Amino acid sequence: MRRGKRLVFMSVLIALLSIAFTGTGFCFLNLDYKVAGHVMNQTVIRDLDGFQTGVLNDTDVIQVRNELKFDLTMRPKYVIEPNLRLDKVFIRYRGAYDAIFDLVNRYNQIPNSVRGAGNSRYDLGLDDVIYENDLREAFADIAYQSSGGFFTNMRLGRQIVQWGEAGLFNVVNQVNPQDLSIVRNFQNPEDLAAPIWIGRMDISSPPFGMVNELSLQLLYIPDNRPTIFGPNYAGGVAPYGLGVPGVNVYQNDVSSDMGNPQFGARVGLSAGRIKTYFYYFDGFYNNPALDFSDIGIGTIWLDHPRYQMYGVSFNYDSPRGFILRGEGALHDTVPFTDFGDLTGRGYTGHKVYEALIGVDRSFFSTYGFPGAGGTPLSTSFEVHYKHVDDWDYDRVLRNGAKENNYGVTFVANTFFMHGSLLPVVALWYDFHGVLLTSLSADYTPNGLLFFKIAISSSYGNKSASYSPIVSTINSSEVSLGIGYRF
Amino acid sequence: MTKKLLFEVIVVAFIGLFFVQTSIAVNPNWKQEQEQGFKELGVKPGEVYNAENWQGIEKALPRSVVEWVKKGEFTIKIGEMKYDYSPDKLYEGWSMANKGKYAIGDRDQVILAASGKAPDYIQGDPFPVIDWKNDPKAGSKIMHNNSLRKMMGGSTMYEFGVLWVSDQGLDRAMYAENYLYYLWNRPDGKPVPNPQKVKRFEMTCIKEPFDLSGAAMLYHYWLDGSPERFVQYIPALRRVKKMNVTDRSSPFFGTDFSNDDTQGYAGQPESMEWKVKEVKHILIAMPKWLCEEPDICEKLPGGGWVTPAKHKLEFGFDPKYKNEKYNIPWMPWCVNWVPRKVYVIGQYAKDPYYAYGDQEIWVDVDSNMVFYKIVWDKSGEYWKTLVLTFNAESWENGNRLSFNAQAFYVNVDDKTHHASIALGNQIFNNRELKAYINWPKNNPRIFKDEYMATMGR
């Protein structure tokens, strides 16, 4: 695999150099490059039994993370811009050191290599969460503008592709897995997504008839990466591990090579006030299916079965001052924990139908909201429905989901102090009786120095095992950040 | 006798031709009009007005600006223009050829006077003659002219900065690029294919600071004047999101500017009602170097022209002005105040969700650029004032003169005593902010959602 990647990397490099020095591209003048980033410290305090049973009455500091993140963007400047050209090279680096693992002893039992040398790349050890040294994104854009008005862009490298219109739900957004080893859901989506190696091609048409733009995106993904969790070892669980004490939880990796890729396709159509996309994804389910075959030897495997997703999304810009958007998808085999499974794995695959409808609307008062200097209150409201096909809920055997599941979310934000202070409120109510709340504020007095505070807590029915957010009731978090942008 | 007459005619014709070739001015009386302005306003070049003698310019500035002078925040130094700050002869010729050709339709859109249909293409000002006293649609006509004037430089890309300035000093800065492609008013006078029926494309890409970099906005302004298409690329989400056009009146990244404040008014003239209140001489802010001559653009090897960006934009937050008695951090020290004749036009949003209440814009009669904008909130209380300056760009070896982009705009929110400054075309903080005029890299193919996404990350 490593050899294969090197081959791809070298080929891409040679292709880029060739384009830059071909007859049309030889007018390469110089390289315009820009470096920008931040250094920051984030400290997270966790209330171990959640705010529901008392605010900050049983706490641990679980993260003291010092992070350096920067982007390097390079764009060739052409004297005469050729139709086929190297458009951009983008690199994002993130390095970090989490001091909590040196400040407290409670994680000492976790080894640096939880499965020994030569095993899974995605079973993180202690070293992996103490230190980060990651070239998160590294890609090149090769653009071609045809005289007929078609625009083609090849983006090759490690990257993030986000699909759909939804805010807090991932209905069609299935390409990049999540990296939950150091952060929680509700964080910056860019930090939450795990970048993967993708060959991506975007083609968009010139306008015709009533159509502004017809677009096609094709994805070839040789990098099969699952959702990543913090180390979960029989002797101890890292702050963002899956949290099964006394049991080893290991990823059952899918091999990543050219012969076993994932595929994605998206067709977009924009006409008048409406824009719609159709999606197809054939890949490995990022979220884990808990495989209990080896529970006898104290191990749970995280399986990632292959599945297909067919989806659609749209947005509509209403002349009445709001945006209406929606998504719908069919996932053909989504794994659910089922102790009645006769194979002994402990899960069965089911069709899942999901639909989401959302409205974005800004509200103005006579003179903005108090202190907001005319800034409107921006709000988003979403309703989500999920149906699990051929599923019979059972309190003992199949308690991880119900056949029909409903949720609503509400997000509001505005600017205070001329954009220096950005407060955000996010609420997610799951109709199984759980409410998740997230309150955050970013303050940047001079655009360079910044402070962040975020509080996430959940309330409701702790026994609603079928709620996707029930596990958050027992661990509310307060995170405090300070940093400097450059 | 006939021979003598013929000789005199030829001599006069040659002298006339000489002046036409050496000057691109269209208003032969500009000097006299400037003198008239000085006379009416009772000011002279070189005079300085501040909190001690503000009464001398009380009638020469918007009420809010007079208040700034009275409070000791602004110092007004009178200057004079040394050239005709109005469009070139070629443009004037195109405009005059439109006399009687266009009219205003029921939605305040431009229509062909003969057929009542929407025009596919317009070259020059559609309404070269304005009867502001008798024509109830005069305001709308002036703003359609204004919208066409901004297209004079053809496809343009300009680098710009936006500063957040409090009464304590400069808070923070943002830098960005603005890409514009105009399908009307082509610089060579020749229409280009326009299958999308678009008047203009606009794309703004944020470059700094780090937390905003990669964000981009794309607008399609339709020929028929219907509400524009507005999408935004949000790099943290890696998605192109549809935005409602009402968001044009909400703050631009938390600054005191809204999207519509660009160039005084960057939206569709059709989306507002306009009423000319009066025409009068006033003082406008003009960067000192632009009082002397326009920016002489340099030809680019790949085609197009670029502004030289050789002058410094300086404001009150600069340490060199800290001992000035009459100063505020957003005071533009790099300007003189020169007399100009303006239309004072009331601006009223048709969209009930628009964030601003009544507005008033002061449009220069000759250049047709907006030099002041005053905004009231929806309860009718005074809110903010924009002071705008426009770069004059001489290109095509001096044959063209256009006013595409800002030198700077100062937008003062008098409710919170805070300001934002947009700047371009010159040097700020050792950074060259240039404008690329009639730039072939800008073409309709780049104004697409997918291309905008690649401009981000």
Q: What is the interface pTM, i.e. ipTM, of the complex? A: 0.83
Task: Compute, in degrees rounded to 10, the torsion defined by CA atoms A330, A331, A337, A341.
Answer: 100
Q: What was the pLDDT predicted at B255?
A: 87
pLDDT surpasses 90 at A367:
no
Alpha helices in B42-111 (DSSP H): 63-70, 89-96
pLDDT in tens, A122-155: 888 899 999 999 999 999 999 998 878 889 999 9
Instruction: Tell me the torsion sign for CA atoms B128, B132, B137, B143.
Output: positive
CA nearest B62: which of B420, B366, B410?
A: B410
pLDDT in tens, B126-174: 999 999 999 999 999 999 999 999 888 888 999 999 999 999 999 989 9
Name the residue facing A90 among B196, B379, B457 (closest C-beta): B457
Q: What is the distance in angstroms between the Cα of A303 and the nearest Cα belonging to chain B?
A: 28
Alpha-carbon span A194 to A155, nearest angstrom: 17
Question: Chain A partners of B244 at a C-beta cutoff of 8 Å?
Answer: 317-318, 321-323, 360-362
Tracing tokens 């939450």 back to the chain, one arrives at A192
pLDDT surpasses 60 at B4:
yes
pTM of the model: 0.85
pLDDT surpasses 70 at A90:
yes
pLDDT in tens, A441-452: 999 888 889 999
Amino acid present at B234: I
Pick the residue from chain B with its C-alpha nearest to A484.
Answer: B210
CA nearest B68: which of B312, B337, B248, B288?
A: B337
Tokens coding B295:
């920016």
Pair B236, A400: CB distance under 8 Å: no
Q: Predicted confidence band at A2 (pLDDT cuts at 50, 70, 90)?
A: very low
* 3-class SS of residue A381: strand
Q: What was the pLDDT predicted at A23?
A: 39
* 3-class SS of residue B339: strand
Amino acid present at B291: C
Pick the residue from chain A with its C-alpha nearest to B378.
Answer: A366
Name the residue facing A362 among B207, B246, B377 (closest C-beta): B246
CA nearest B411: which of B446, B441, B449, B383?
A: B383
Alpha-carbon span B225 to B231, nearest angstrom: 18
Pick the residue from chain A with its C-alpha nearest to B247.
Answer: A362
Pick the residue from chain B with its C-alpha nearest to A82.
Answer: B441
pLDDT-above-70 percentage for chain A: 90
Q: What is the distance in angstroms between the Cα of B330 and the nearest Cα belonging to chain A?
A: 15
The mean-pLDDT minimum among A200-204, B5-9, B54-58, B247-251 falls in B5-9
* 3-class SS of residue A207: coil
Kindly determine whether residue A215 and residue B351, on different chains, have CB atoms separated by under 8 Å. no
The mean-pLDDT minimum among A203-217, A248-262, A298-312, B362-376 falls in A248-262
Kindly determine whether residue A162 and residue B239, on different chains, have CB atoms separated by under 8 Å. yes
pLDDT-above-90 percentage for chain A: 59
pLDDT surpasses 70 at A315:
yes
Q: What is the mean pLDDT of residues A199-207?
A: 92
For B84, phi then psi, to 5°, come to: -80, 110
Burial of A147 (0-12, 13-18, 19+ CB in 10 A): exposed
* 3-class SS of residue B93: helix
Tokens coding A416:
């205070």
pLDDT in tens, A400-440: 999 999 999 999 988 888 778 889 999 999 999 999 999 99
pLDDT in tens, B64-111: 999 999 999 999 999 999 999 998 889 999 999 999 999 999 999 999
Q: Predicted confidence band at B16 (pLDDT cuts at 50, 70, 90)?
A: very low
Buried b / exposed e along B397-411 (16+ C-beta atoms within 10 A): eeebbbbbbbbbbbb
Alpha-carbon span A90 to B195, nearest angstrom: 34
Q: What is the distance in angstroms between the Cα of B211 and the nearest Cα belonging to chain A?
A: 8
Tokens coding A262:
């994932």
Q: Predicted confidence band at A7 (pLDDT cuts at 50, 70, 90)?
A: low
Q: How far is CA B78 from CA A445, B37, B324, in A?
A: 36, 12, 17
Q: What was the pLDDT predicted at B378?
A: 84
Tokens coding A174:
């299935």
Selected residue of A317, A320, A380, A448 to mutate for chain B interface (largest B Cβ count, 10 A):
A317
Alpha-carbon span B179 to B202, nearest angstrom: 6
Selected residue of B231, B378, B445 to mutate for chain A interface (largest A Cβ count, 10 A):
B445
Kindly determine whether residue B208 and residue A36, on different chains, have CB atoms separated by under 8 Å. yes
Alpha helices in B116-173 (DSSP H): 138-149
Q: What was the pLDDT predicted at A341?
A: 83
pLDDT surpasses 90 at B247:
no
Alpha-carbon span B434 to A257, nearest angstrom: 47
Instruction: Give chain A's mean pLDDT.
Output: 88
Q: What was the pLDDT predicted at B403?
A: 84
